[in-house]
Every structure is written in structure tokens, then in C-alpha cells.
Copies of this chain bind each other. A is one copy, B any other.
Amino acid sequence: MITKLAVLGSTGSIGQQTLEVVRAFPHRFRIVGLAAGKNLDLLAKQVSEFKPRFVYSQDREAYTHQNAECEFLSLEELASHPQVDTVVIASSGKSGLLPVIAAVKSGKNVALANKESLVTAGKIITKEAKLNKAKILPIDSEHSAIWQCLKGETQKAAQLVLTASGGPFLRFSPARLDKVTVKQALRHPSWQMGQKVTIDSATLMNKGLEVIEAHWLFGIPFNNIRVLIHPQSIIHSLVEFIDGSVKAQLSYPDMRLPIQYALSYPERLPNPELPRLNWDRLGSLTFEPPDLDKFPCLKLAIEAGKKGGTYPAVLCAADEIAVKLFLSQRIKFNDIARLVEQVLGQHQAITHPTLEEIIAADAWAGEKAYQLITGDSPC
């Protein structure tokens, strides 16, 4: 049995690791579609290796010129194509949203690494998935951990505990935090990731987005989702059951494991390239509650999640701009949270938004964040 995959965002970090997994199991997975943004050179290499039938790139002209043999599809066509069994949404940011909707509406298995789609439109996506019998298979290491712990359990979890490494600034004082450089913020202690998610990990915004994701993926109220700092990044999350028993999932930080699990689920595949825990060197695993005063983004995200409606979309969009402004050294590290909070404060929320209203709120928030700092509109 071969699973036919479309990988959206194939040239990014998750996309490339997805292809590594596919490479390890050529008789189990086949790439039928690849989609990328601007990295045309890498996309061309991937196309020549995996020979997909369908392809998408942001720059259609430049791409089709080079690769006449593939059929060019839009992201949404690719995500809903009858030839595709599982859609891997490996693209980051808002570009994931419409393809996710298209995939769940056509009843696909959706291996989801894109946080923003569930955070901004979790209600719509989970409703459509249920309606169309689409399965959402989480790729984030935390959600994969929870999903693995829930395997075979017939009752809902009593509590989810998402672990966080705490990022590079875990032990920084608030004053020192105010002066951190972009270079420091991009140096994550345990995970190799893209720039946006690395900064989000340093502010703990990333963990806040994951709390919202977990709420939608597992149907657990926000009050029963907790974040715990675990600097070793070995336990990827924990689930407490109604009898007080807790299960945890452990592994060295390597995204290929949750990717592979999402693709092979419910089966597990033996992959000698995945690292094994060295039991003799496990040493000490430590846990502590997060400091919400030092890392207000976590609090802002959970509050936005609880309020619901268009708030999470505004949170996401404002954060996206804030991180960009930090990366281009227009604002300081601590300004990220301040800016997001300001934008959330000025938002006129819609309680039960349509997809269009979510997209509009996102656009408003990005523009507002940009204006508040520069006085200008973004390009």
C-alpha cells in the first residue's frame, strides 16, 4: 500500500525533512505533488528526484519555463486533488490556511505542520474536517506527542501539558531581555527551525499558538491545557487522564519522527536514521512553570485563544509583523509582545467569524502593527 503525498512548502525546513522520510520508505510513500514559494532551484532538484505529477510555485512563469513535464496546479487544487491521499501542509504563516480548508473539505488526510491555520480558523477547520471525514494528523512535536499518548484511549484527556524548552532566554532578567540581539534570538538551544518560529520560541509566542492548536486538535478547554518549561526538550508533551495517570512521549528533538508518524499512522515504521534515546545518558529531566511576566506573549496568546472569534487571527498577524520588525532591527525583543498587545487592544472583534472575516481581521492586524511602529502601511 503506497500513500500518495502532496507536500506544500517542500523547500522549507519541514518540507525537506518530509522528503527525507519519503526517501527512507520509497515503497511506502510516493510524492505526487510538490509546492514551494520562491526557492526555485531547490524545487527543481526535488522535482527531478521525486518526479511528482503536479507542481506549484509562487512564480509560475519562472517555474513552468524550467519544468514542462509537471502539471501546474494552484495550492488549493493540489490540496484537494483526487490523486492525493495525504496533504502535508509544511508551509508556514497564513499561506497554509486556504489549502488546509481545501484539503479538509475534500476529506483528505491532512498532515499539519502549519500552526497559523488552526490558530486562526480552528473552529472552521475542525468543523469541516468532521463533516467531510478528513483526518488532521499533527506534525508539531508537541501535538504529535499528545496524539501518541492518546492513541487507544477511548476517553478525553483531563489535562494536556505542553512542554517548552524555554528558548535561549529562559534565565535572562527582564532588563537583559530588553537588550537581546537578533543573532542571540536566532540561536535556539534545542531545535533547528525557520527564523519566524525560532523567534516565536524565544518569546514563547510559539507555545501560546500551540496551546490554541491543541485546543482545536483535541477538543480540550483552555483551562485544562498547561505549559511547562522543560529545557532538555526530551519530553515533548504529556497527557493527564481522568484517573490521574499521565502519559508522556519522549525522543531527541528531530522533526522527522513526528513527520513520519503522521505519514505512517496508525502504523510505526522502523527508520534507522531516526535517533534513539541514549538511556545511559538521559541524566536529568527538569520542569518548571513558565514566567508569564517575563514572557507575556504566552499569556497574550492564551487569552486570545480563550476569547476566540477573530482574536487569534489578530494575534498571529500582529506577531508576524512584530517578528519581521524585530528581525530587521526596527523594534526591540520586548517590543514584540508590546506591539501584539497594542494591536489586540485596538481590535473590534467578531465572535463567530466567517473565513473571509478571519482573513480581513488578519489583514487589518498586520497593517495596524506595521503602522503603529512605522506610521506607514506595509508594502
Give residues in A with beta carbon < 8 Å to B.
148-149, 151-155, 158, 161, 226, 228, 235, 238, 240-251, 257, 260-261, 264, 266-271, 274-277, 279-280, 282-289
Contacts and interface: CB of A to CB of B under 8 A. Distances in A.
Given A154-B267, A228-B279, A248 B251 contact: no
A159 B262 CA distance: 22
Contact of A151 (B152, B277, B282): B152
Contacts of A155: 267-268
Nearest to A236: B245
A372 to B, nearest CB: 36
Given A267-B154, A279-B228, A244 B286 contact: no
A257 B245 contact: yes
Nearest to A244: B274
Nearest to A151: B152
B282 A284 contact: no
This chain: copies in complex = 2
Most buried by B among A235, A240, A267, A277: A277
A268 B286 contact: no
Contacts of A240: 276-277
Given A268-B155, A285-B284, A286-B283, A244 B276 contact: yes
Q: 8 nearest interchain CB pairs?
A: A152-B152, A151-B152, A246-B250, A282-B287, A244-B274, A242-B270, A243-B268, A285-B285
Contacts of A268: 153, 155, 241-243, 245
Contacts of A277: 240, 244, 246
A281 B149 CA distance: 22
Contacts of A267: 154-155
A249 B260 CA distance: 23
Given A149-B247, A151-B153, A286 B289 contact: no
Contacts of A153: 151-152, 268
A262 B268 CA distance: 26
Contacts of A161: 279
A247 B248 contact: yes
